[in-house]
Amino acid sequence: MSAWRQATSAPNLVMVMLNLNKSEAETLQQLLNGERLWSWPNGRIQLGQSFPDLAVINSLVRQGLLDQTYEPTEAGRSALQSWQSSVGLPSTTVIRAEDGPRPRFPR
């Protein structure tokens, strides 16, 4: 990739990373903290103790921030860290893929 392409593509990358709204950021954070999406027989989607807007989930998938199995991607982790920085929050709670598997707690 030429320096010109890098210079012109970098602002687009930053724009995508900062394109999260609060609902998207909160949903990503829940997924990174180990919460899982699941659905009720009536079709209602649940994430942890909350019921996220399906439009938010679909938006995260379309943007490439969640994969097709609704797991956060590296782009999703980066986007959340950028959003947290932009609103003045610490990004220390983001779990990176190299951190290993997420802990499972018995219910």
pTM, full prediction:
0.66
Q: How far apart are CA 27 and CA 86, in angstroms?
A: 17
* Amino acid (1-letter code) at residue 13: L
> What are the CB-based long-range contacts (under 8 Å, 24+) for 94-103?
94/29, 94/32, 95/32, 95/33, 95/34, 102/34, 103/34
Euclidean distance between CA atoms 22 and 25, whole angstroms = 5
User: What gap in Å lies between CA 60 and CA 54, rounded to an integer?
Assistant: 10
pLDDT digits (tens, 9 = 90+) for 14-70: 444 447 888 899 999 999 988 999 889 998 889 988 898 999 999 999 999 999 999
Q: What is the pLDDT of residues 37-47, one digit of tens each?
A: 988 999 888 99
- The answer to whether 60 touches 28, Cβ cutoff 8 Å, is yes
Say yes or no to pLDDT of 3 above 60.
no
